[in-house]
Amino acid sequence: MIRIVVISPYLFRLHRGIERGTYSLANKLARRGVRVTIYSWSAPRSPVNWGRWHPGIKIRTVPSVRYLQSLLASWFYKIWLRMDKPDVVILNFLYHGEHRLPAHHKFLYILHTLASGVPGRYRFIRQQIRRFPSMEFVAVSEMVKREAMPYLGDRKITVIHNGVDTELFVPADNQAANDADHIKIITAAALDEQKGIHHIIKLLGSLSEEDRRHYKYDIYGDGHYKDALQSLIRQLHLEKVVALKQAVNNLHEVLPRYDLFCLMSEAEAMGMAALEAIACGLPVLTSDCPAFKEFITPDIGLTVSCADSRQIMEFINDCKSKRRENNWSHAARERSLQFSWDVVADKYLAQLRRIKQLPGTGGF
pLDDT digits (tens, 9 = 90+) for 44-80: 888 999 989 999 999 999 999 989 999 999 999 999 9
Same domain, 157 and 221: no
Domain count, the chain: 2
**What sign for the dihedral angle of Cα 242, 165, 4, 130?**
negative
DSSP assignments along 260-288, one per residue: EEEE--S--SS-HHHHHHHHTT--EEEE-
For residue 340, the model assigns a pLDDT of: 96
351 and 330 in a common domain: no
- Determine what percent of the chain is predicted with pLDDT higher than 70: 95
* Domain identity same for 14 and 129: yes
In a domain, 50, yes or no: yes
Spell 101-136 as b/e; 16+ CB within 10 A means b: bbbebbbbbbbbbbbeeeeebbeebbebbeebebbb
Choice between 361 and 306, residue whose per-residue pLDDT is larger: 306
Question: Does residue 168 fall inside a structural domain?
Answer: no
- 274 and 329 housed in the same domain: yes
- Tens digit of pLDDT for each residue in 224-258? 999 999 999 999 999 999 999 998 989 999 999 99
Residue 361 predicted with pLDDT over 80: no
Mean per-residue pLDDT, 91-96: 95
Q: Is residue 317 part of a domain?
A: yes
Q: How far apart are alpha carbons 107 and 103 in whole angstroms?
A: 9
Which residues partner with 7 through β-bridges?
39, 91
Looking at the structure, do residues 95 and 115 belong to the same domain, yes or no? yes
Segment 314-323 mean pLDDT:
79
Question: Are 36 and 92 found together in one domain?
Answer: yes
Residue 77 maps to a domain? yes
pLDDT of residue 177: 46
Judge if 345 and 331 occupy the same domain.
no
Range of the domain at 298: 175-337
304 is a domain residue: yes
Judgement on whether residues 202 and 59 belong to the same structural domain of the protein = no
Q: Which of 133-142, 315-324, 355-364 has the highest mean pLDDT?
A: 133-142
In the chain, the amino acid numbered 210 is: E
How much is the pTM? 0.92
Assess whether 119 and 256 both reside in one domain.
no
> For position 320, what pLDDT does the model report?
72
- Is 195 strand, coil or helix? helix
More confident residue, 55 or 329: 55
Query: CATH number, domain at 254?
Result: 3.40.50.2000
Looking at the DSSP assignment, which residues form a beta bridge with residue 186? 218, 261
Do 211 and 303 reside in the same domain of the chain?
Answer: yes
268 lies in the same domain as 140: no
